[in-house]
Amino acid sequence: MSADKVAPIKVHAAIAKALIDNGVDTIFGVAGDANMFIVDSFVREFKGNYVAAANEAGATLMAIGYANASGKVGVVTVTHGPAVTNTLTALVEGVKGQTSLLLLCGDTAVEDKEHAQNIAQRDVILPTGAGFEQLRSPRTVSLDLATALRRAIFERRPIALNVPIEFEWEDVAYEPVTFKLPEMRALVPASADLDDAVGIIATAKRPILLAGRGAMHAEARQALLRLAERTGALLATTLRAKDLFRGEAFNLGLFGTLSTPVAVDLIAQSDCIMAFGASLNKLTSDQGALLKGKRVVQCNLEAVEIGKHARPTAGLVGDPGLVADAIIRWLDEAEVVASGFRSDEIERQIKAYSPAADGKDLSTATTIDMRKALMRLDAAVPPDRVFVTDAGRFMMEPWRLVGVRDPRLFLYPINFGSIGLGMSVAIGASFAAPGKPVFHVTGDGGFMLGGLAEFNTAVRHKVDLIVVVCNDGSYGAEHFQFRKRQMDPGLSLFNWPEFASVATALGGHGITVRTSEDLERAAQAIKDRDRPLLIDLKCDPDRMPDIEHYYQVAMKSGL
Residue 55 vs 108, nearer CB to ligand TPP? 55
DSSP codes joined into one string, 83-124: HHHTTHHHHHHHHHTT--EEEEEEE--TT-TT-TT---HHHH
Residue 52 vs 362, nearer CB to ligand TPP? 362
Q: Of residues 223, 297, 301, 419, which one binds ligand TPP by CB under 6 A?
A: 419
Bridge partners, 158 (sequence order): 101
CB-CB contact of 534 with 467 (8 Å): yes
CB-CB contact of 73 with 102 (8 Å): yes
Q: How far is the CB of 480 from ligand TPP (least distance, A)?
A: 8
Bridge partners, 27 (sequence order): 50
According to the binding rule CB under 6 A, does residue 400 interact with ligand TPP? no
Residue 273 vs 402, nearer CB to ligand TPP? 402
Q: How far is the CB of 91 from ligand TPP (least distance, A)?
A: 14
Q: Among residue numbers 463 through 502, which ones bind ligand TPP (CB under 6 A)?
A: 470, 472, 474-478
Bridge partners, 410 (sequence order): 387
Q: Of residues 41, 251, 418, 512, which one binds ligand TPP by CB under 6 A?
A: 418
Three-state secondary structure call for residue 384: coil
Q: Of residues 29, 212, 256, 446, which one binds ligand TPP by CB under 6 A?
A: 446
Residue 315 vs 413, nearer CB to ligand TPP? 413
CB-CB contact of 401 with 355 (8 Å): yes
Residue 89 vs 100, nearer CB to ligand TPP? 89
DSSP strand pairing (158-164 vs 101-107)? parallel
According to the binding rule CB under 6 A, does residue 392 interact with ligand TPP? yes
- Helix, strand and coil percent figures for the chain, each rounded to 5: 45, 15, 40
Q: How far is the CB of 440 from ligand TPP (least distance, A)?
A: 12
Q: Which residue is nearest to ligand TPP (CB)?
A: 443
According to the binding rule CB under 6 A, does residue 443 interact with ligand TPP? yes
According to the binding rule CB under 6 A, does residue 319 interact with ligand TPP? no
Residue 387 vs 394, nearer CB to ligand TPP? 394
Q: How far is the CB of 522 from ligand TPP (least distance, A)?
A: 19
Q: How far is the CB of 500 from ligand TPP (least distance, A)?
A: 17
Q: What is the CA radius of gyration of the chain?
A: 25
Q: Within 13 Å of residue 553, how many CA atoms lie on the same side as its CB?
A: 20
Q: In whole angstroms, how far apart are CA 298 and each of 156, 254, 277, 390?
A: 21, 17, 8, 30
Q: Of residues 394, 410, 412, 499, which one binds ligand TPP by CB under 6 A?
A: 394
Binding mask 73-112 for ligand TPP (x = CB under 6 A): ----------------------------------------
435-438-441 Cα angle (round to 5): 170
Whole-number Å distance between alpha carbons of 72 and 66: 8
According to the binding rule CB under 6 A, does residue 415 interact with ligand TPP? no
Max Cα–Cα distance, the chain, nearest Å: 83
Q: How far is the CB of 74 from ligand TPP (least distance, A)?
A: 21
According to the binding rule CB under 6 A, does residue 393 interact with ligand TPP? yes
DSSP element (H, E) containing 397: helix 396-401
Binding site for ligand TPP (CB under 6 A): 392-394, 417-420, 443-446, 470, 472, 474-478
